Chains A and B, each alone.
Chain A
Amino acid sequence: MSGRPSLSAEGRVWLITGPDGKLMDDIDTDMIYHNAHLAVTEVSEMGRYAFGNLEGWRDFPEKVRPGDIVIAGANFGCGSSRQHAVDCFRALGVGALVVESAGAIYFRNAVNSAFPLVIAPGIGESGIKQGDSVSIDFETGLIKDLDRPVVFRARPFSAVQREIYLAGSLFAVRPS
């Protein structure tokens, strides 16, 4: 851990799309991190299983590079409470996760473990293309496509999300 985390990210985009080319909705925790690997307790071991049960994306851990940004559809991470489904992206060095909406527990898992998750309803229609580079400002929610003239406004971090993110973990945050 070196210094305060930055409230922004910049990186190459992975649009998690289905056969129809659209962002997939309802990607559940078994697709993100299959139950066969639940006994794993070391975060660094979890990356290799990311999207291991998601049709068309099983080779994601080999393709993704640290700093890349993952964009997915609605109700991302619905299902189980397993935090492996957040930590597998942390282990791969993913810079931020941007989704139309997230499962209730998934959202809290990301927020409370200080992983940058941005809620962006409508991002699927934004015009951002596979492989583009984007910048994201977590404080304003502004997402800029660096390869074409597309600017998208996602939801900014909430006060509690910002506080936990900057503190680096839920544990460091005290009630006011």
Chain B
Amino acid sequence: MAGMTFAQKALAAAAGRERVEVGEILFVEPDVCLSHDNSAAIIKTFGSMGAERVRYPERTAIFLDHCVPAADERYAANHKRIREFVAEQGIVHFHDVNRGVCHQVLAEQGLARPGGIVAGSDSHTTTAGAFGAFAAGIGRTEAASIWATGRLWFRVPEALSIELAGEFPPGVGAKDLALKIIGDIGADGALYMSVEFSGPAAAGLSVSERMLLANMGAEMGAKNAYLPPDEKVERFLEGRPEPYESRPLFPDEDAEYARRLRYDLSEIEPGLACPHTVANYAPVREKAGTRIHQALIGTCTNGRIEDLRAAAEVLRGRKVARGVRLLVFPASSEVYMQALKEGLMEVFLAAGAVVMNPGCGPCLGAHEGVLAPGEVCISTANRNFKGRMGCKEAEIYLASPETVAASAVAGEIALPPAYGKEASREG
């Protein structure tokens, strides 16, 4: 009998089973149920189901991040209803408009842990897979049902193995790799699958880079994404709250994968997702010179301290080009504070950037920097769907923080300055 993938092991453990097979339907009790501003709609569904009490207030996490502070009366009313519900139900993990993007704050609050089961009413819930959790996006009815009953069914997914080897060239990083993979396999290349990264280069990635890969798993159609937890994850979680116990799980050597891919990081170059799909890949060099109007650094994809450092490195002593707006959104208040201490915010302000509050910002078109018809934006976000940033007649390119910062300075799509500089890595 073949071994088990991570997804099989995680769901088997959660269901109290020795072994489960791909395709099986299991009822499990998630360790965490995540939701955000959409909690207002979930509350309505919860009520219409006839539910009265949240089964596990201590496993329920609500973050206000999508439109914070509220841009209009409708969002304000939704936020108000959510705060009332949190108080009525004694929801334990509630983070108001000051705290940041749900996936980042989830991690900072120790809610994303090895072996944990995280169900989140947001498609990028896959991010928590960076900590070795089984983390999947769900919808409103499902979230309401977890609130009411504490459990949800899952189908044990097929799995896609992505083995990583080698080292990134200077100026190249996890975002460039993610865009390349999605370009190769398509927006449904990992549909319903558990995307499980492995290999020496996966172990070499920082927690931040792992979060990026797991986050972008959603853009391959993945059910969940996974990176093997190790001492880097332990170090990240040290000193943070421990709402449940870590249970590190690793796929068996002889696990059965529906498909296997291998990437050598040394072959990756700065990349882009061109309008209007994430799978529309092009190397930056092919689009260099494309005029831009807005540049965005932040979101759950690239708003961490490592991303801000990389962008600041490019922007230090430089100015944003005339006619370009550079918006910087730290992913959380913790990231914001750290960036302040490191003097990064001074770099951004001196360069002419607009530094915004932690949150999703204009990524989903709600407010804080939506686009006008005919405008072009280069963004570190994870989606460039037509109309995503509020305007259906605007174009969005996705790229790494280094590429976005370099483009903001150039006023057009440009390669990160570090790329191609020190190709000599002998010894």
Instruction: List A residues at the B interface (Cβ < 8 Å).
Output: 26, 28, 30-31, 34-36, 38-42, 53, 74-75, 78-83, 86, 101, 103-105, 107-109, 112-113, 158-160, 169-171, 173, 175
Contacts and interface: CB of A to CB of B under 8 A. Distances in A.
Interface in B173-226: 187-188, 191-192, 221-223
B188 A78 contact: yes
Contact of B139 (A39, A83, A160, A171): A83
A39 B81 CA distance: 12
B383 A79 contact: yes
B138 A75 contact: no
A108 B49 contact: no
A104 B387 contact: no
Across the A-B interface, give the 7 residue pairs with the lowest CB-CB distance, nearest first. Answer: A109-B139, A175-B27, A75-B188, A83-B140, A39-B74, A41-B41, A83-B139
B188 A81 contact: no
Contacts of A82: 38, 139
Nearest to A171: B49
Given A31-B385, A38-B364, A104-B221, A26 B141 contact: no
Interface string B80-95: 0000000000000000
Contacts of A34: 365, 387, 392
A149 B137 CA distance: 41
A170 B119 CA distance: 15
Interface of B: 25, 27, 37-38, 40-41, 44, 49-51, 66-67, 72, 74-75, 78, 120-123, 125, 137-142, 144-145, 148-149, 151, 153, 155, 187-188, 191-192, 221-223, 277, 279, 364-366, 383, 385-388, 390, 392
Contacts of A36: 365, 390
Contacts of A103: 188, 191, 221
A81 B135 CA distance: 14
B145 A171 contact: yes
B140 to A, nearest CB: 4
Looking at chain A's contact residues, the main secondary structure is: loop
B215 to A, nearest CB: 14
A3 B144 CA distance: 24
A99 B151 CA distance: 28
A28 B385 contact: yes
Contact of A112 (B37, B141, B148, B221): B141
A168 B204 CA distance: 48
Contacts of B388: 30, 35
Contacts of B137: 81, 104-105
B25 A159 contact: yes
A30 B139 contact: no
A130 B41 CA distance: 35
Contact of A38 (B38, B386, B387): B38
B153 A160 contact: yes
A140 to B, nearest CB: 20
14 contacts: A26-B188, A30-B387, A35-B364, A35-B366, A35-B387, A35-B390, A53-B386, A75-B188, A104-B222, A109-B142, A112-B139, A112-B141, A112-B142, A171-B50
B365 A101 contact: no
Contact of B141 (A40, A83, A101, A159): A83
A31 B383 CA distance: 13
A168 to B, nearest CB: 10
